[in-house]
Structure 1
Amino acid sequence: MGVSLIFKIAAVGILVTILSQILKHSGREEHAFLISLAGLILVLTWIVPYIYELFQTIQTLFAL
């Protein structure tokens, strides 16, 4: 996992936070929720391969 992935996640977090605040203040809480959900799904798609690799490493380490 590189530093670039951490910066990408931070950028998405900042962007989602700003957009959510703007949408909440304009009275569109539903859209703010959908933006937050989309940001979460985007970050999870970046993280899932690393979690899979971690579980594979643990499995080979303990020979399960």
Structure 2
Amino acid sequence: MEVDLIFKIAGIGIIVAVLNQVLIRSGRDDQAMMTTLAGLIVALMLVISQINTLFETVKSVFGLY
């Protein structure tokens, strides 16, 4: 696993947490929830691409085509 991926996910988490707190304090709870969901979707998209690479590697190692 690349260290860059971990830093990207951590950065997304920090940014989303700060935006979430700012939006909640200003009374925009709905937008805070949407920001959290958007951050989660972006992080999952990063992880899904790595999981796809893992499955392709496992297929090639075991010869499962």
TM-score range, shorter chain: 0.7 to 0.9
Q: What are the equivalent positions in structure 2 for 1:20-39 lying under 5 Å apart?
A: 20-39=20-39
Task: Tell me the TM-score normalised to structure 1 length.
Answer: 0.81
- What value does the CA root-mean-square deviation take over the aligned residues? 1.7
Task: Tell me the TM-score normalised to structure 2 length.
Answer: 0.80
Q: What are the equivalent positions in structure 2 for 1:43-58 lying under 5 Å apart?
A: 43-58=43-58
Unaligned runs of 5+ in 1: none
Identity %: 45
- Following the alignment from structure 1 to structure 2, what is the Cα–Cα distance between the partners of residues 51 and 32? 29
Unaligned runs of 5+ in 2: none
